[in-house]
Amino acid sequence: MNNLELYGYQFPICNLKPAIKNGCKFTHLYFKAMMIDKNSKNINYPSQLAIILGLTVAGLVASGILTLIIWNIMEGSFPPKAEDILQPKYYDVLMVLQAVSTLFIFFLPACFFAMICYRRPAKFLGFNLHINAKQFFLAIGILILAFPLAGALGELNQVLPIPQSWAAKFKSWEVTRQAEEAAFVQINTFPKYLMSLLIIGLLPGVFEEIYFRATIQNFFTGWFKGPGLAILVTSIIFSAIHGSYYGFLVRFGLGVILGLVFYYSKSLWLNALMHFLFNGLQVTELYENNLRGIKQTKDVEQNFPLWMGMVALVLIIYLFMVFKKASAIELAKYPEEQLPETEFEHWLNKS
């Protein structure tokens, strides 16, 4: 054995041993190189974190500026008070603003981050179709079971003991959030239903998965040297960003499910499909209830009792065991393509 291979790198042992024995100043550099992702541009993780945070803030600022511009173009004036914006007559402009904000806050920062930090941005973001029918149907089964599980997590969230002052504050936030969401659920015509499927279902399903799973989770997986903590941290961020305490565990659970699907499959498209279908079913129920004159009182997942959530959890664990094996078999069909050697790698191999 003449070479030591680790994380895709080949290290000549004849060069490595003298460096260790003689206390060579490059020893640390060798071992640091061992931990670098072959697809990475060798930007360290703290710097990557600063880049994604900076791009996200820039996206927020750009989204805010574009909101003012678009409103002025479509309505001929600057935005009125927040409570007035939620009126049904502003539905169309709100849909446009929702699409723009999702694009600039989630999609563009993730894409620019991948281009800045990785040699193959599409590979880093999971833009591949290396999935098969078995994975597809298993993912659909997991998604179906996610609804009763989400209902059980919602029940648990309601009974968690918290100080009364906190509970009062969280409930006031929930009322405000529900009022804001009500402006997006005035789905009483088929064109509005199609628009809502696109703006509320498809775009967040794709853009949020690119940001949270393909970017944030991938980044943390590399930094933490494993997927477990990365999925948990990403799911916490994913849930917190929605600003609902009483829906925190629901979205956290969904985040964990989506995180596992992405980690095992290495493909973004299953995640985007599951996220879209979850949102789309909510939109479809709202549309049907509006047509029948039924006031929406709770989300789809809240229609399931607690015991069904417990059963669903057991079945989801089983399906993930099967999904993991199916994904490993599928990925084995596509050996990783070797990237061109960088100047740093060339120096390591020739030194």
Query: pLDDT by residue (tens digit) across 84-128?
Result: 666 767 788 888 988 999 999 999 999 999 999 998 999 899 998
CB 110 within 8 A of CB 92: no
What is the tens place of the pLDDT at every residue in 29-42? 433 433 446 777 88
Place of tokens 């173009």: 73
What is the tens place of the pLDDT at every residue in 248-288? 999 999 999 999 999 999 999 999 999 999 999 888 888 88
Question: How much is the pTM?
Answer: 0.82
Query: How confident is the model over 283-296, as a mean pLDDT?
Result: 79
- DSSP code string of 129-187: ----HHHHHHHHHHHHHHHHHHHHHHHHHHHS---HHHHHHHHHHHHHHHHHHHTT---
pLDDT band at residue 173 under the 50/70/90 scheme? confident
Instruction: State yes or no: pLDDT of 296 exceeds 90.
Output: no
In Å, how far are 38, 40, 54, 347 from 344, measured between CA atoms?
11, 12, 27, 5
